[in-house]
Chains A and B, each alone.
Chain A
Amino acid sequence: MLIDWIHWLSSERREDLLLVLAPILLLDAVRYSVGALGVWLVDFAQLLYKTVFHPRQREVEYQHCPTVCVIIAGLNEADTLPYTLESLHGTYPRMEIIVVDDGSDDGMASIARDFAQRIPQMTVLRKPRRGGKSSALNFALPFTQAEILVCVDGDSHVSSTGIWEIVQPFADPSVGAVSATVLARNPFAKLITWLQALEYLRNIFVGRMFASRMGILGIISGAFGAYRRSAIQRLHGWDVGPGEDGDLTLRMRKSGYRIVFAPYAQCLTNLPQNWWTLIKQRRRWEWAVVTFECRKHIDLINPRNPNFRLSNFALLLDRWMYNVILMYAFWGYAVWLLLLQPRAQLGYVLLLNYVVYVALDMLQLLLILYYSTNRLRDLAIGLATPLMPLYHVLLKFVSLIAVTEEIFTRRSFRDNFVPIHVRESTWHW
């Protein structure tokens, strides 16, 4: 079998092989592996340059120390909130905390109030009824004067230097928001979290590094991200979700701010532990791409718009290419492969794709390990690499369904992520 496959490989023409490998090369290879490789080459070159020409120069860490307000907006997160607060407490000198309870019925506010007795500079806000995450975040805005707002999810665990790392890029006044690394808190709990942990390492930790260098970073995780308060106030805060983080990022970019990535501002978050939750989460992400990138912020590609910037145009193109066009292309190719390719060669083709994909992921894993702060853990997570192709195919399928239903039915406006009274009165893009 294996020998047959090698025979088949050597008998095929190079153009044919490229055609066969097209989905991998187009979908993920360039975006992550090659991108990461490029980043590494640049960093390595800089390292060499520094080592050769400025051998004794040492970077002074954490020069920038603005006032920070951490906003924790959540719904029914009474169980995990104490750990989040515990992880934040005492990690940064000029920090206040605002906990917004979006109408929880599990006593989240009272747990936060208990905590507020011990921590000065902590405010608890409670909304009488649920109004969606955007309104909960906006609720905190009138009650702080801090320069930097850091949004943390109620079930996330911020690393001890997380706040320091995330505020450093704000030393540059053109930076409006900083994206941070979100990693799995429970990577080995189940296979599903293991796979997600590796995906997060690849897409967020290294993937965003590349996007940030390219100037096309357009996403800030809701679990951990920082914003300049003056920028947020100019934009009047978050709009109705789902996908309010991405929406705010795009609006910031639209008004001229830069978004950068702080890879070592890390936060551990609880990943979904069953497939249905994961699928629901991914559907929301895909809906947001259609709602915001393809509808609400379509004016970013208009060259006659006074705010037109090439990086924003590139960002939007990148999104369309990978999340919509190439996703459909992938499934078109799959159909072509199944229906039109000779049945005998189908196995060979799949095997070839698999091998190449895993090889590229291995390369990427090496790069992850190069940048990693916890190499042993990341190596263990990387052991799931051989399963990743299957996982990605599954997610591609979720993506196919989500994008299609959002394009044709505006599914996101029937989503329970936002309470119905808000959904009914907001705009349907």
Chain B
Amino acid sequence: MPCYINSENAVLWFVQAIALGAQDHLVVDAFSPADLVRRIFFAIERKKWETRRIDLWAAQPHWLTQHTDLVATESAAIHPAEIDRDHRQPDVAAAGTSGQAKQVLLVEDDHAFLNLVRDELEHDHQGGFDITHVDCLAAAVDWLEQHRCDCILLDISLPDSDWYNTLAKVRPRAGTAPVIALTWHDNILEAIEGIRQGAQDYLVKSQLSNRVLSQAVHMGLARRDRLLDLLKPQPADDDAGGPRIDYTEKRQHARYCLTKPLYTIPILPGGAPDLDHRSEGTSLDLSAGGIGFEIGEKFQLPTKKFVIGVESDDGKIHFTTVEIRRATPTARGMELGARFEEDADSLFCEENLLPQLNTESGGFRTPLSDEIMAQWAQLGVLQPTLVDRIYACPQCQGLPTFRTGCRACGSIHTTCSQLIHHFACAHVGFVVDFEQPGEMVCPKCRLRSLVVGADFEYVNGPHRCLSCDWSDTELEQVGQCLRCSYRFPAHQAAEQELIGYYVNRLDPLALIGAS
């Protein structure tokens, strides 16, 4: 997501740059480093939001087929929620065409600031803004229900709502119109969260100068136009040889529908399966990114996560986790729109399925409790499998370390005398008795200049413990627990099997290929 940095401060430049794909347009001598950082964060969050929009749109084939005409006129509202709630404006088809005055809704309770905004927008030489003003959230919602709108300037600290709620109420009703948030508080975290919730820009009132406001409005509109361009389907009589863009393919995939039943299990907070609400669902549509399906009962979803399973060609049921994006009550039950989760984000990511070393408790266990894993295993979603076998402390099952030591008390302090066996005379004696200045001499037969290997060999006497009176030919392997410090002979260690789990993962692409 590139940012263009230009030296000319002209609105025309801004609009062109955005239309060509830039996320933002900064003027070299008119921004501070803090401003740059802020804009970059905004750009990232904005891009994420746009991507989600496109994904959701791709997962909504109904909506697509029903409203192709709307998409073709470049003005379809694309947020699925607003379509399902049927909050679209009747005259939306006329929106966004150039030359016509642009409807700007200004939601603002501070009248001093109101004049400042009017001043700036009405004197904008690109011109063509038709400003409507309301001073509370309820009025704004009312107005949006009945009018089409190109841009919303939203003071988020209104008397009848807090900022988060304001945005949440306005955003779904705004359709394709960019929402530009206005605030007195220069709080970067709040600002980023606002962008994440769908605001196009986030302006601090005290810093509005030099046509910042009108630039923001123009850029917001330019971004909106670009997004609609991307969503526009390719004309059928396009060049035969020309490459088709992804979205058309996505649309084709999105029409696939599974004939096989879909096993659905809601996930409770904490990761356990919701045994009361597992059911067999019907898939409605399917794409690489998500799935829409219907289940036969209505209930309050415990979390947004579901496990769904589909029987594959190999006769096994393969599972994946999805995140519910949309839940619509229907006559029979609920219709759910969901996005496939990446393996790493999923409940069944590798860390959750394999026993992990817990350094605090000094033992191995899966991050979720054994009980939860057993429930999943009982449902057939997870298959227990032997991952490894370890030796553990016989007292507390903690992890031990092993070394050699005294068999009786486990002490490390042992000695072992070294002796020499002189082959020729069969004498076996301590090394010191053989050592003479510069050579080895046998104390029994007086042979001199003995050579190790040819004339004699070293042998070890028994090991003796200095801590107790134990003595033996060989040292014992001694374990010491890292958790409870218990010492024990290695052969007494408790053998522990580490049980992990594996899941037959559902590959959405393979599913599409098969359906």
Instruction: Using known A-B contacts A113-B472, A124-B472, A131-B457, determine if residue A236 contacts B462 with beta carbons closer than 8 Å.
Output: no
Quick check: B471 and A139 within 8 Å, CB to CB? no
On chain A, the residues within 8 Å of B26 by CB distance are none
Report which of A109, A124, A128, A238 forms a contact with B426, defined as CB distance below 8 A: A238
On chain B, the residues within 8 Å of A421 by CB distance are 423
Interface residue A212 (Cβ < 8 Å from any Cβ of B): no
CA distance A138 to B424 in the complex (A): 13
Interface residue A142 (Cβ < 8 Å from any Cβ of B): yes
B interface, over-half SS? strand
Report which of A125, A127, A129 forms a contact with B462, defined as CB distance below 8 A: A125
Interface residue A141 (Cβ < 8 Å from any Cβ of B): yes
In the complex, how many angstroms separate the beta carbon of A112 from the nearest chain B beta carbon?
A: 8
Interface residue A135 (Cβ < 8 Å from any Cβ of B): yes
On chain A, the residues within 8 Å of B10 by CB distance are none
In the complex, how many angstroms separate the beta carbon of B427 from the nearest chain A beta carbon?
A: 6
On chain A, the residues within 8 Å of B443 by CB distance are 236
Interface residue B499 (Cβ < 8 Å from any Cβ of A): no
Quick check: B461 and A125 within 8 Å, CB to CB? yes
Interface residue A28 (Cβ < 8 Å from any Cβ of B): no
Report which of A109, A124, A236 forms a contact with B425, defined as CB distance below 8 A: A236
Question: Which partner residue on chain B sits nearest A427 by CB separation?
Answer: B424
CA distance A421 to B457 in the complex (A): 11
Most A Cβ at <10 Å: residue of B424, B444, B471, B473:
B473
**Contact indicator per residue, chain A 130-150, by CB within 8 Å of chain B (1) or not (0):** 011011001101110000000
Q: By the criterion of a CB under 8 Å from any partner CB, how many residues of chain B are at the interface?
A: 24
**Contact indicator per residue, chain B 468-479, by CB within 8 Å of chain A (1) or not (0):** 000111100000
On chain B, the residues within 8 Å of A240 by CB distance are 423-426
Interface residue B95 (Cβ < 8 Å from any Cβ of A): no
On chain A, the residues within 8 Å of B421 by CB distance are 127, 131, 135, 138-139
Interface residue A123 (Cβ < 8 Å from any Cβ of B): yes
CA distance A141 to B417 in the complex (A): 14
> Which residues of B (451-473) have their CB < 8 Å from a CB of A?
454-455, 457, 459-462, 471-473
On chain A, the residues within 8 Å of B419 by CB distance are 139, 142
> Which residues of A (93-138) have their CB < 8 Å from a CB of B?
101, 109, 113, 116, 123-129, 131-132, 134-135, 138
CA distance A314 to B311 in the complex (A): 102
Quick check: B424 and A426 within 8 Å, CB to CB? yes
On chain B, the residues within 8 Å of A424 by CB distance are 423
CA distance A399 to B427 in the complex (A): 31
Report which of B423, B444, B459, B472 forms a contact with A139, defined as CB distance below 8 A: B459
> Which residues of B (413-434) have their CB < 8 Å from a CB of A?
417, 419, 421, 423-430
Quick check: A239 and B426 within 8 Å, CB to CB? yes
Instruction: Using known A-B contacts A125-B473, A126-B473, A139-B421, determine if residue A131 contacts B462 with beta carbons closer than 8 Å.
Output: no
Report which of A101, A123, A236, A426 forms a contact with B423, defined as CB distance below 8 A: A426
CA distance A283 to B349 in the complex (A): 77
On chain B, the residues within 8 Å of A373 by CB distance are none
Interface residue A34 (Cβ < 8 Å from any Cβ of B): no
Instruction: Using known A-B contacts A124-B472, A125-B473, A127-B421, determine if residue A237 contacts B426 with beta carbons closer than 8 Å.
Output: yes
CA distance A60 to B443 in the complex (A): 44
Interface residue A425 (Cβ < 8 Å from any Cβ of B): yes
Report which of B417, B426, B430, B471 forms a contact with A131, defined as CB distance below 8 A: B426
In the complex, how many angstroms separate the beta carbon of A73 from the nearest chain B beta carbon?
A: 11
In the complex, how many angstroms separate the beta carbon of A234 from the nearest chain B beta carbon?
A: 11
Question: Which partner residue on chain B sits nearest A131 by CB separation?
Answer: B421
Question: Which partner residue on chain B sits nearest A124 by CB separation?
Answer: B473
CA distance A196 to B399 in the complex (A): 61
CA distance A397 to B461 in the complex (A): 45
Quick check: B459 and A128 within 8 Å, CB to CB? yes
**Contact indicator per residue, chain B 124-143, by CB within 8 Å of chain A (1) or not (0):** 00000000000000000000
CA distance A8 to B149 in the complex (A): 155
CA distance A139 to B459 in the complex (A): 9
**Contact indicator per residue, chain B 171-197, by CB within 8 Å of chain A (1) or not (0):** 000000000000000000000000000
Interface residue A24 (Cβ < 8 Å from any Cβ of B): no
Report which of B426, B430, B462 forms a contact with A132, defined as CB distance below 8 A: B426
Quick check: B457 and A425 within 8 Å, CB to CB? no
What are 17 A-B interface contacts by the 8 Å CB criterion?
Answer: A113-B472, A113-B474, A116-B472, A131-B423, A132-B426, A138-B426, A139-B421, A142-B419, A142-B429, A142-B430, A236-B425, A237-B427, A421-B423, A425-B423, A425-B424, A425-B454, A426-B425
Interface residues of chain B, those whose CB is within 8 Å of chain A, are 417, 419, 421, 423-430, 443-444, 454-455, 457, 459-462, 471-474
- Apart from A113-B472, A239-B426, list 11 A-B contacts with CB within 8 A: A123-B462, A123-B471, A125-B462, A134-B426, A135-B428, A138-B427, A142-B417, A236-B444, A237-B428, A425-B423, A427-B424
Which 10 residue pairs across A and B have the least CB separation, nearest first? A134-B426, A236-B444, A138-B428, A425-B423, A135-B426, A139-B428, A422-B423, A425-B424, A426-B424, A126-B473
